[in-house]
Structure 1
Amino acid sequence: MNSSPRPDHSPRPAAADDLARPAGGTPALPPVASFDELGLPSAVRELLTAHGVVTPFPIQAATLPNALAGRDVLGRGRTGSGKTLAFGLPLLARTAGLRAEARKPRALVLVPTRELAQQVADVLAPYAGALGLRLATVVGGMSIGRQATALRDGAEVVIATPGRLVDLVERKDVRLDRVGITVLDEADQMADLGFTDQVTALLDLVREDGQRMLFSATLDRNVDLLVGRYLHDPVVHSVDAVTASVDTMEHHVLQVHGADKYATATEIAARDGRVIMFLATKASVDRFTAHLLGSGVRAAALHGDKSQPLRTRTLEKFRRGEVTVLVATNVAARGIHVDDVDLVVNVDPPADHKDYLHRGGRTARAGGSGSVVTLVLPDQRKEVLRLMGDAGLRPRVTQVRSGEAELSRITGARAPSGVPVDGSAPSAERPRRGGAQFRGMGTVPGKPGRAKNESRRSAEERKLAEARKAARVRRGH
C-alpha cells in the first residue's frame, strides 16, 4: 500500500476552453445579500422562508437582480449551487399575472435530460402554484399524447428536452411565438450531446425581443454560437471557474489490479450509506447491478435504455433509502439531486474533466461534504491524473486491494453479506480478498476485459476506441 503524502484540492489555472466573455455595454446591477432586497412577490417570499431558503447562494445573489430586471443573463456556478432558483424565481415572478392560451406557453426552460427536467419541475412547482402559474413537463420516454393535452389545456411555463419539444412543434401541438422568457439550463451539455440544431430551431421560434438566460455548471466555447446569436448585451456572472472544486469534497484515485477491480468496487458498494457508482456502458451497468444484488447489496441501475417511469421509481427508491447504491451511466451525472450522498465512485473513469466534475457534483451539494473515488488500473493512472489536472485537482493516489484496512478507511468498504437481495440470483463473485473479478459477457476467465482469442494489446486498443466513441456520442443518454 502506497499513497501520495499530501492531497491538494486547490484549483489550477483555468483551462483553455474556459468561458469566452461576450462584450456588453450595460453595467450589471450589484449582488444582493438577502432575498428581501429583490421585491419578490409575497407568496414567493413566504415559501422561501418555509423551505428554509434564507440567504441567497452566490449565483443567486449575483444573477437575480439582473434577471428580475429583464436582462439577458449568462451564468455559471458549480453543480448544486442553486442555479434552478437563480433562473426560476425571475422567470416565475416576471410571468406571474400572464395567462397562456391553448398551446401557447409564455415561458420555456430547455434542459438536456429527462432527470434534469423533472428536478427543475419539482423545484419550481411550489412557487408556480403560489403564483397561479401552470407548469407542463415535456420529455421523451413519456406519453406524447398526455403532454399535448397539457399544452392544449394551457400552461404558462414549459420545461422540456429539445427533441420532444421539436416533435410537439412539428405536430402543431405547441406554438412558441408567445414565449417571452427562455432559459437554457446546462447549455454546454446540450451542445455536447448534439442538440445545438434543435435548440437553435426552437430559439428561432420564441419572441425575438424576449429575455434569454443560459445557466450551467460549465460554460465554454461550445456554447459561443448560442451566446453570440441569441443573447443581447448579457450580464455575465461566473461565480465558479470551469475547474473549480468544492472545498468540502475530497478526491481520491485508487489504483487497483485488474483481477481485483470489481471485488474492490463490490466492497465499496456494501458500505453504510448512499453511494452513486458510474460505469461506462449500459450493459456494464446492468451486469454490475445484477452482481451486487446477488452479493447482498441493495442496488439499482439507471441508464438511457430504462423507461422514464422506471427511472423515476428507481430514483425515488434511492431517495427513500430502499436502494443504497445507484449504478449509472453518465445519464445520472447531471440533474440528479439526492440528499446525503456522501460518496461517488467512478468504477470506470470518465471521458473528460467536465464529466468528472458533473459526476462528482452528485455529492457535497449546497454546502455539504463528500468524497469522489476513481478506480484506475495501472495503465490508466497517468491519463486519469491528467484529466483531473484539467479539472483543477490534485487527488490523493493510493494503491489498494479488496479487504484492506486502507480501502475501508477511505471509502467505508466492507465485505458484502453474500445473501442475495430478494428476487436476485446468487453472485458468482466471491466477497473475499483477491477473489476473481466480476466478469461481464464476452470476457475470458483469467483475462479481464478480453474476448476469446484477443491479445492483451488488442484488448487495450479496443477499450480505448470504445472509450473515445463513448465520449463522442455520450452513450447512456
Structure 2
Amino acid sequence: MNGPHPRNDPTLPDRSGESFAGLGLPPALVRELAHQGISAPFAIQAATLPDGLAGRDVLARGRTGSGKTLAFGLAVLARSRGQRGSTRRPLVLVLVPTRELAQQVTESLTPYARSLRLRVVSVVGGRSISGQARALRAGAEVVVATPGRLADLVERGDCRLDRITVTVLDEADQMANLGFLPQITALLDRVPPGGQYLLFSATLDRDVDELVDRYLTDPVVHEVHPSADALAATEHRLLDVAAADKRAVVTEIAARGERVLLFLETRHVVDELTQHLLDSGVLAAALHGGRSQAQRSRTLEDFKAGRVTALVATNVAARGIHVDDLGLVVNVDPPGHHKDYLHRGGRTARAGAPGTVVTLVLPQQRRAVVQLLEQAGITAETGAGAA
C-alpha cells in the first residue's frame, strides 16, 4: 500500500446497529449465529464485514476481545461457500501467532464452517505433524496455522499454498514481535498474487506496515476505538506493594476462590508461584511455553470449567485465550511493553463484560509502570495493600 494509512474515513458509512443479514451474510450463517445466541454484530464486525464480503483488502485495528475472529471468519467463510479445497491445497489461510489462538479461532469458526459444508484444519506446533498432514491430504477449505508449523508442512510438501485466494493475518503485531516476520513473508510469497488480504491487529507499527505495504492492495482501514468496543468496562488499578509483602498479597488475591489470571515474566517464577499457591490450598495451575500442547489445552479447559481458579501464566496466555466471565487479571510482574499490558488486560472485560486489571508495583517500578500506562492510554486508580 502506498502513502499514509487512511484513518477513520468520515466517508465510510456508519453501520452501527446493523443486523448480520443487513451486512450481507448468507442465511445459513445468520441462522448459525442465532443458534449460537449472537443476534447483533460487534462494532468491528459491523465495520469490516461488508468490505471483507466484497473482496476488498482490509486493515483493521481493534482491541483484543472486540470480536475480530468472527469479523474476518464470517467474511472468509461466506466468500468460500460452494468451493472445495483439494488434497494438500486449501483455499483460505489464517495465520496466527500462538497455538492457543489457533485453537480458539478453529473452535470459533468450526460451527459456521459446518453450516456451509466447509472444512477447517488447524496446524500448530506441539501436535502430531503427521496427523496434521493427513488432515491436509483429506482436503480442507480453511487452514488455521502458526507460521513455524505451516512452514514445516510446506517444506515437506504436505501443504501447498498455490490455491489460496484469501489470507488472514490475525494479531499481526504479535507475530512480528515474536520474530515470525521472515517466516510469514516466505509463506506469503508462495500465495498467488491478486488474492484478498485481511490483516487484523491490536496495534499498527513499523513491522505491520511492512506487511501492509508488501501484500495489501489499496486496503480499507477500520479502527474501532476503545469506546466502541467497551474498553470502559475494564477497571484498571495499580497496587503499591513492598517486595517483602508481594507474595502474601498475591496469595490473598488468588485464595478468594474466584477465577483469576496471574501474569509473570518467566517460566521459572510461574512454576514457583504455582507451587506456592498449591501448597497454600489454592486450585492453581501453570501455563507457559515449557508445557506440552496437551498440558496447555488441559489446563485451559480446567480453568474454563472452574476446576482451576488461579491460572498462573507467562505472556503465552496474553493472546488467544477466551474465557467467558473472567473478571480479574493480575499483573504480578508488570509487563515490559504497553502492548503486552493491553493484551494481558484483554483477557477480561471481553465483549463488553465488566472486568478488572490489577498491576502490582514495587517502589522501584512505579515510574516505568506509569509511563507504560500513558503509552497504553490507560488511566488507573492507585491503592496500597491488598486489592
How far, CA to CA, are the matches of 2:77 and 2:344 in structure 1?
Answer: 29
State the Cα deviation string for residues 85-111 of structure 1 (Å, max 9, x = none): 100001001011111110000001000
Q: How many Å apart are 1:360 and its aligned residue?
A: 0.5
Over the aligned positions, Cα root-mean-square deviation in angstroms equals 1.8
Pair 1:157 & 2:132 matched: no
How far, CA to CA, are the matches of 1:52 and 1:227 in structure 2?
Answer: 35
Q: How does 1:97-116 map to 2 (within 5 A)?
A: 97-116=82-101
Match of residue 388, structure 1, among 352, 369, 373: 373
Match of residue 342, structure 1, among 306, 324, 327: 327
In the alignment, is the contact (CA less than 8 A) between 2:24 and 2:53 conserved in 1? no
Counterpart in the other structure of 1:5:
none
Match of residue 89, structure 1, among 69, 74, 90: 74
Counterpart in the other structure of 1:450:
none
Q: How many Å apart are 1:220 and its aligned residue?
A: 2.1
Match of residue 46, structure 2, among 49, 61, 64: 61
Give 1:163's aligned amino acid.
G
Match of residue 371, structure 1, among 356, 367, 377: 356
In the alignment, is the contact (CA less than 8 A) between 2:235 and 2:357 conserved in 1? yes
How far, CA to CA, are the matches of 2:51 and 2:353 in structure 1?
Answer: 28
Q: How many Å apart are 1:43 and its aligned residue?
A: 1.5
Q: How many Å apart are 1:216 and its aligned residue?
A: 1.7
In the alignment, is the contact (CA less than 8 A) between 2:23 and 2:46 conserved in 1? no
Give 1:21's aligned amino acid.
H
Distance 1:342 1:30, change over 3 A: closer
How far, CA to CA, are the matches of 1:334 and 1:381 in structure 2?
Answer: 25
In the alignment, is the contact (CA less than 8 A) between 1:275 and 1:341 conserved in 2? yes
Counterpart in the other structure of 1:447:
none
How far, CA to CA, are the matches of 1:21 and 1:52 in structure 2?
Answer: 36
Q: How does 1:361-440 map to 2 (within 5 A)?
A: 361-400=346-385, 407=386, 411=387
Give 1:155's aligned amino acid.
A
How far, CA to CA, are the matches of 1:320 and 1:276 in structure 2?
Answer: 14
Q: How many Å apart are 1:28 and its aligned residue?
A: 5.2
In the alignment, is the contact (CA less than 8 A) between 1:59 and 1:86 conserved in 2? yes
State the Cα deviation string for residues 371-392 of structure 1 (Å, max 9, x = none): 1001111111111011111111
In the alignment, is the contact (CA less than 8 A) between 2:89 and 2:160 conserved in 1? yes
Specify the SS of the correspondent of 1:253. Answer: strand
How far, CA to CA, are the matches of 1:375 and 1:392 in structure 2?
Answer: 18
Give 1:182's aligned amino acid.
T
Distance 1:74 1:124, change over 3 A: same
Match of residue 5, structure 2, among 21, 27, 31: 21
Pair 1:40 & 2:25 matched: yes
Match of residue 104, structure 2, among 107, 119, 143: 119
State the Cα deviation string for residues 248-294 of structure 1 (Å, max 9, x = none): 11111111111110111011100131100000100110110011001
Give TM-score, length-normalised by structure 1: 0.78
In the alignment, is the contact (CA less than 8 A) between 1:104 and 1:178 conserved in 2? yes
Counterpart in the other structure of 2:272:
287
In the alignment, is the contact (CA less than 8 A) between 1:29 and 1:65 conserved in 2? no
Counterpart in the other structure of 1:354:
339
Match of residue 175, structure 2, among 190, 206, 216: 190
Give 2:106's aligned amino acid.
A
Q: How many Å apart are 1:136 and its aligned residue?
A: 0.7
Pair 1:31 & 2:9 matched: no
Higher-Rg structure is: 1
How far, CA to CA, are the matches of 2:279 and 2:192 in structure 1?
Answer: 55
Counterpart in the other structure of 2:290:
305
Structure 2 unmatched runs, 5+: none
Q: Percent identity?
A: 63
Distance 1:375 1:100, change over 3 A: same
How far, CA to CA, are the matches of 2:339 and 2:235 in structure 1?
Answer: 17
How far, CA to CA, are the matches of 2:325 and 2:46 in structure 1?
Answer: 25
Aligned residues: 381
Match of residue 267, structure 1, among 236, 247, 252: 252
Counterpart in the other structure of 1:276:
261
In the alignment, is the contact (CA less than 8 A) between 1:22 and 1:228 conserved in 2? no
Give TM-score, length-normalised by structure 2: 0.95
Q: How many Å apart are 1:222 and its aligned residue?
A: 2.2
In the alignment, is the contact (CA less than 8 A) between 2:92 and 2:166 conserved in 1? yes
